[in-house]
Structure 1
Amino acid sequence: MSSLRLLRFDHAPALLAFERENRAYFAASVPDRGDQYFAGFEERHRELMAEQEAGLHFFHVLVDDGGQVLGRVNLIDVADGSAELGYRIAERAAGRGLATSAVREACTLAGTLYGLTSLRAVTTVDNPASRTVLTRTGFMPAGELLLDGRPGLRFVRPLAGGTGSAGGTGSGREGR
């Protein structure tokens, strides 16, 4: 069983382990975070927690019953009733529907708890798993773009009436 939880300070060790264990796996489909991300992880985690406290972003971890991080689902750059969704699921947990269920839950939280009215997402064209998750959770294609030099697609998802009910490796801008 897994659950989506708002990121807390005490998630840092499990989150760092998740990012390290899956670095090569994620780099195959999204830009690598780089060595500096890992070297400055603790300071960066404190900064992200402060940004979350200020309402700029909502970071979530998908954890198993033992507290190990199976994935991340983040809502970043919150402004004007909208945010950008990004997510990544651990290699060992991929292909079990966890990304779809976690993204659905994040959409619900976005509309009900966070008061958002729409979400955006991007992914590369060569990431069919991410495109599938986005379309299964109510996102609609909204144009093309270059994502770190690679062809990509923009997606949008309205959260009708402020509710988020709807109804892989991850999207290209999980970012944080």
Structure 2
Amino acid sequence: MPELQLLRPDHAPALLAFEQENRAYFAASVPDRGDDYFARFEERLHALLAEQEAGACYFHVLVGDAGEALGRVNLVDVADGGADLGYRVAQRAAGRGLATSAVREICGLASTRYGLTTLRAAATLDNAASRTVLARAGFTVTGETRLSGRPGLTFLRRL
């Protein structure tokens, strides 16, 4: 059973492999991270760990039985009892309920471990899978938005 773990430096190899293997898959539904992200991966990882140490963000890796990264679930822009939720699951792990399970788990952690009271999220209209995950995890639609020029919806969950 995959385990949601707080991001650590030793996740780097599995996380980089996850991002590289799924780049095209992710780009079909969210903006591509760009070549610079991969070229400067280690530097970016250290910056994320510093943000996490400061309590501004909490980054999580969904780790499979063999130590591989199967997904990411992040809480960013933590302030005033709330945070923005972002998540992605590997193509080979999609459709098995892992995203829904991980988002539900992060909602519990957000409340009990991080002391948050609300989570915000957004998904494009053409990303039905992401919108379904949010609905199954107890998020409600709060409005409309644009994500990288594409129409989307905003969501909120009170914890």
Shift of 1:59: 0.2
Match of 1:91 in 2: 91
In percent, how many aligned pairs have the same letter?
Answer: 73
Match of 1:47 in 2: 47
Shift of 1:66: 1.0
Q: TM-score, normalised by structure 1?
A: 0.90
Confirm or deny that 1:106 pairs with 2:106.
Answer: yes
- Aligned-pair Cα RMSD in Å: 0.4
Confirm or deny that 1:15 pairs with 2:10.
Answer: no
Shift of 1:33: 0.3
Q: Relative contact order: is structure 1 or structure 2 higher (C-alpha 8 Å, sep ≥ 6)?
A: 1
Match of 1:172 in 2: none
Instruction: For 1:53-132, list aligned pairs within 5 A.
Output: 53-132=53-132
Shift of 1:65: 1.2
Superposed CA offset, 1:54-103 (max 9, x none): 00000000011111000000000000000000000000000000000000
Shift of 1:4: 0.3
Question: Counterpart of 1:75 in 2: which secondary structure?
Answer: strand
Distance in 2 between residues matched to 1:104 and 1:146, nearest whole Å: 25
Question: Counterpart of 1:26 in 2: which secondary structure?
Answer: helix
Amino acid at match of 1:88: R
Q: Unaligned 5+ residue runs, structure 2? A: none
Question: Counterpart of 1:74 in 2: which secondary structure?
Answer: strand
Shift of 1:23: 0.1
Q: TM-score, normalised by structure 2?
A: 0.99
Distance in 2 between residues matched to 1:114 and 1:107, nearest whole Å: 10
Distance in 2 between residues matched to 1:141 and 1:49, nearest whole Å: 31
Shift of 1:135: 0.3
Q: Unaligned 5+ residue runs, structure 1? A: 160-176
- Runs (4+) off by over 3 Å: none
Instruction: For 1:149-164, list aligned pairs within 5 A.
Output: 149-159=149-159
